[in-house]
Amino acid sequence: MLRVIRDLLKYDRRFRIAFIFLMAVAFMFILSFFSPYDPNEIFVVPMDAPPSPEYFFGTNSRGQDIFWWMTFAIRNSLLMGVITAVISRVIAIIVGLSAGYEGGWLDKFLMSINDSFIVLPLLPILILLGFLLRDIMNLFLLGVILGFFGWPYDARLIRSQVLSLRERLFTRTAVFSGTNSFSITMEEHLPFVLPIVFATTINNMLWAIGMEVTLSVLGLSDLTTPSIGTALFWANQHGALVAGVWWWIAAPTLVAIILFLGLYLFFTSINDYIDPRTRLRLVGG
Amino acid sequence: MSATDKLLDVQHVTVEFRIGGLVGGSLLVAVNDVSFSLDEDRPEIFTLAGESGSGKTTLSRLLLRDLEPTRGKVLFEGRDLATIRKRSEFKEFMKKVQPVFQNPFETFSPLRRVDAYLFDTALNFGMAPNHRAAAQVVEDALRNVGLSLEEVSKRYPHELSGGQTQRVSVARALISQPKLILADEPVSMVDASLRMEIVNLFRELRDEQKVSVIYITHDLATAYYISDRIGIMLRGFIVESGPVDDVLVRPFHPYTKLLKESVPEPAPKGRETWAKSITLGTTEVKEYGRVGCKFAGRCPQVMDICREVDPPDVQVERRMVKCYLYTEHAERLSPG
Amino acid sequence: MTLLHVENLCAYYQTELYGISRTVRAVDGVSFELFPNEIYGVAGESSCGKTTLIKVISGNVKPPLKVISGSVEFQFGSYGVDMLHISKEELRRNVRWKQISYVMQGSMSVLNPVRKIIKTFEDIVDTHDQITDKKKFLEQARDHVNRLGLPTEVLNCYPHQLSGGMRQRVAIALATVFEPSLIITDEPTTALDVVVQRGVLQMIKNIQAISRNTVLLVTHDMAVHANVADRVMIMYAGRIAEEAPTETIFNASLHPYTQHLIHSLPMIGERSDKAGLRGSPPNLANPPSGCRFHERCPFVMDICRTEIPEMVSVREQHRVACHLVKENTL
């Protein structure tokens, strides 16, 4: 693992940039545990102070230190992204693999559900759900909800991959080795599908974090929890731009850009590396 | 002879595919009224030879139960393959009938070690109770193909040559101690210097392991070298079948004659005859759709009747020929 | 008079990925000559370097393939071409199709799948824009196809409407439109059935006999060489093992590898035991020392493991690279 990171750092510029960005994100994530301020308390520092050595990202109109507040925001946004990704990956893998390999009525059944999810107008539904569940809404619940909506494209992708794998000769070899369909799926097909799973995991996280921002800006998430989205919501509420407190908007935007770029470059770089074809070329196949 | 004396009994099997759309599609008869059988107690190598589009691959899929015949029956040890429904029954069938595929580079997953397939086969078919005992079974199978577990253990397919991979493939097929191995073009993608080793392997299987082999190929030279009997396929029909020494040495059917003549001899002495010009077939679909003998369009000895009705199977000496040229040799009535 | 002179050619594939660099020595020190009016066969197993060799000869060198050393020089009549230093423009304008044409396995890459054959003919004419009167050219194209014994209707077909054998023959017809000095064919009949193979090879032979040009026939199938080629080169692991007229290769070969290739071929009507060769073709990223065949050679000697055998001329037109032969001739 360390060797892989070293190789990638040495030979892949995308990975180097991603590494720096993600280290910065990770650093802020960890710092949140050492924050001198509770993010829920207000008026603990002077209001509307511009960025300075003392207040790195400045302070906001609610008397909070934006830098320390953002450390919580990053932590919460990332955790929510991970919750969404994990839930939707599990669904996508199960649906994609079983529909692809078993085929027949199971495939038809699963894909009809899948396609229904694809054609659903997602944003209005999420707004409606956000409104209905506003009393119990928190970031965890939002992550779970997004997880249940975030799988269908990727399930289809995995299914199509498995469909072509099923026609490969080695699948027939496995069948005639007496291997049952569950093991064929896990041992023969999953290794080919994992790169897709990995690539889509990061995509999915980005999607979830972005969705949270959208919903938060609309005021439909748990506004008491710091997140990249709620940062923007509060800045908007206080008319930050009109008041000239541009750093209140700039800080979450900057953090979001670093997070998104970092994750994206990380994903493309790793994706190349774990591509089975690259693996084969590396070992000289 | 009762049906139970047969290891494999293919009875008047026909496979039809509908090609084209729902409306206006046409029917393609990939395998047409094919019958042959292998005896239970006398292991042999039976070759199905033919060119691309002759139906030999469809027939092999049929024998592996990948496909069901439109008409006719395939009996294995007296049991109709169409009646195999439960997974346990299919597993029992696979234990006795094993395939060896054409492309050694595709037979095993590039992301899995090849020995994993050998252990899977040993454990899944109950040839060994645990992994340790399976190692012995695997070792024995590999020895039969001239390899050892040490050579292939922990190796990925690309770390082995095509010849080695193909031998591993044969070893895998041997693990469940099958009665029949179906080898579909097993050497066509193996390098020349390694090819004969694989071909010889099938002879050894027959002589030492008492396994019957159905060898599917377009290569008449290796077919002659290893097989006992041969069936020549043309556009879904078996047009001539019998012992290789009869069929390939003195072919009767004009198509078999043409095929044999066209095989380039690996010696410069036959250059002149080989260079004699020949008529090539028109497109594939045209010959499939032809009424009567499928070879009539190219046959140098064609008669009027050949273009009208399918020729009957005629028994001449030890062989069967599907050709009107030989109808007077036997008192069989033409069908219809 | 020679058509092509290849001298000490080394062409390697060099790749680097995540710091692991690999050099595959696909063609390593190959020298040979082609003469006008002959069919020259190149035989060898997969990854023996024969495909790389024709890539270099036809001026198709792209990374990761790199020519390390050597020369490839053509002499088309009075027009000389240094293939390793020719400009792309000159290659396209004066050499491809006009002097050298290329027929490969499957041939689908030459025929545009969405255009009728006649349109592909036209495209080729256009890229070489040496014919102003298109109508007249199409007439000529029709004549050309006719002369090769193909029905003229094929010109109005799409490639997928033709059988594999017909497609291959059309590809050959296209390759010979400009009556090139050299036709390179790479496994032209490998995917075809024997009867069709015979037809296609007959066509190649006829064209050669009529236009008296040179055909470079690359195939692993020794039986094809026996029936078609005038001279044959046997390649093994990136080097030439033996080169001789076809008769000599089949009746008096001296290299143990050639002998094995020929004796292992089965024949109808003859059932003596044919043995395979032990071992496997070597990995060209890490080729064996000395003679590259020594690990598999039944007559291996100590010198074979350490020293690369030199190419020795045993008689007119017969060259062998084997220590065994060198010992006997000295």
Confidence (pLDDT) at B335: 42
Interface residue A273 vs chain C (CB under 8 A): yes
pLDDT band, very low/low/confident/very high, at A282 (cuts 50, 70, 90): low
Interface of B with C in 203-242 (CB under 8 A): 218, 220-222, 224-225
Average pLDDT over residues B190-195: 81
Q: Are B272 and B265 in contact (CB under 8 A)?
A: no
pLDDT, mean over chain C: 87
Chain A residues contacting B, CB < 8 Å? 168-170, 172-180, 183, 187-188, 191-192, 276, 279-280, 283-285
Concatenate the DSSP letters of all residues of C185-246 into one string.
EESTTTTS-HHHHHHHHHHHHHHHHHH--EEEEE-S-HHHHHHH-SEEEEEETTEEEEEEEH
DSSP 8-state class, residue B206:
I
**Which pLDDT score is estimated for C107?**
60
Q: Do B283 and C271 touch (CB under 8 A)?
A: no
pLDDT given at position B21: 58
Which has more confidence, A280 or A256?
A256
Task: Tell me how far CA of residue A81 lies from CA of A256, B26, B319, C268, in angstroms.
Answer: 13, 54, 73, 69
Question: Terminal CA-to-CA distance of chain A, rounded, Å?
Answer: 22
- How long a stretch of residues is chain C? 330
pLDDT digits (tens, 9 = 90+) for B232-250: 999 899 999 999 999 999 9
Q: Is residue B106 less than 8 Å (CB to CB) from chain A?
A: yes
| Yes or no, beta carbons of C19 and A7 under 8 Å apart | yes
pLDDT in tens, B68-99: 999 999 999 999 999 998 999 999 999 999 99
CB contact under 8 A, A282 and C285: no
Q: Do B120 and A176 touch (CB under 8 A)?
A: no
User: Quick check: B5 pLDDT over 90?
Assistant: no
B13-69: pLDDT as tens digits: 999 887 765 566 677 888 999 999 999 889 999 999 988 878 888 999 999 998 899
* Alpha-carbon gap, residue B68 to A28, rounded angstroms: 63
C-alpha span between A88 and A197 (Å, rounded): 10
Asked if B248 contacts B81 with a C-beta cutoff of 8 angstroms, the reply is no
Contact criterion met (CB < 8 Å) for B158 and A283: yes
| pLDDT confidence band for A277 (50 / 70 / 90) | low
Degrees, nearest 5: CA angle A226-A231-A233? 115
**How confident is the prediction along chain C (330 residues), in pLDDT tens digits per residue?**
899 999 999 999 988 777 778 888 999 999 999 999 999 999 988 878 898 999 999 988 988 899 999 999 999 988 999 999 999 889 888 888 889 998 877 666 677 888 888 888 887 777 766 666 777 777 888 888 888 878 888 888 888 887 777 888 888 888 888 889 999 998 888 777 888 888 889 888 988 998 899 999 999 889 999 999 999 999 999 999 999 999 999 999 999 999 998 988 888 888 888 887 887 788 888 889 999 999 999 999 999 999 999 999 998 899 999 999 876 665
Give the integer Cα–Cα distance in Å for C288 and C266.
Answer: 29
- ipTM of the modeled complex: 0.86
pTM: 0.83
Neighbouring C-beta atoms of residue A33, cutoff 10 Å = 9
Across chain A, mean pLDDT equals 89
Query: What pLDDT was estimated at residue B329?
Result: 54
Q: What is the pLDDT of residue B291?
A: 80
What value does the mean pLDDT take over residues B106-116? 91
Residue A105 is which amino acid?
Answer: W
Please report the pLDDT score of residue B46 as a whole number: 96
Question: Is pLDDT above 50 for B161?
Answer: yes
The nearest CA of chain A is from the CA of B292 a distance in Å of 36
Tokens of B335: 């069908």
Q: Could you count the other beta carbons within 10 Å of the beta carbon of residue B62?
A: 22
Distance to chain A for B34, nearest Cα, Å: 25
Partner residue facing A173 (CB), from B108, B156, B159? B108
Task: Please state, in angstroms and rounded to a whole number, the distance separating the CA atoms of residues A172 and B312.
Answer: 37
Range of A135-139, A259-263, B289-293 with top mean pLDDT: A259-263
CA distance C26 to C13: 7
Give the SS3 label for residue B96.
Answer: helix
Question: What is the spatial distance between Cα B285 and Cα B274, in angstroms, rounded to a whole number?
Answer: 27
Contact at CB, A11 and C18, closer than 8 angstroms: yes
Residue B178 has a pLDDT of 95
Query: What is residue B1's predicted lDDT score, i.e. its pLDDT?
Result: 45
Query: Measured between CA atoms, how close is A10 to chain C, in angstroms?
Result: 8
Positive or negative, the CA dihedral B194, B198, B199, B204 is positive
Q: Please name the residue that has the structure tokens 């509060």.
A: A234
Among A168, A276, A280, the residue with its CB nearest the CB of B106 is A168
**pLDDT, mean over chain B:** 87
pLDDT of residue A280: 63
Please state, in angstroms and rounded to a whole number, the distance separating the CA atoms of residues C308 and B172.
39
What is the spatial distance between Cα C158 and Cα C113, in angstroms, rounded to a whole number? 7
Strands B229-234 and B237-243: antiparallel
C231 interfaces chain B, CB cutoff of 8 Å? no
Kindly report the nearest CA distance between residue A170 and chain B, in angstroms: 5
> Greater confidence, B154 or C39?
C39
**Which pLDDT band, with edges at 50, 70 and 90, does A283 fall under?**
low
Give the whole-number percent of chain A exceeding pLDDT 70.
96
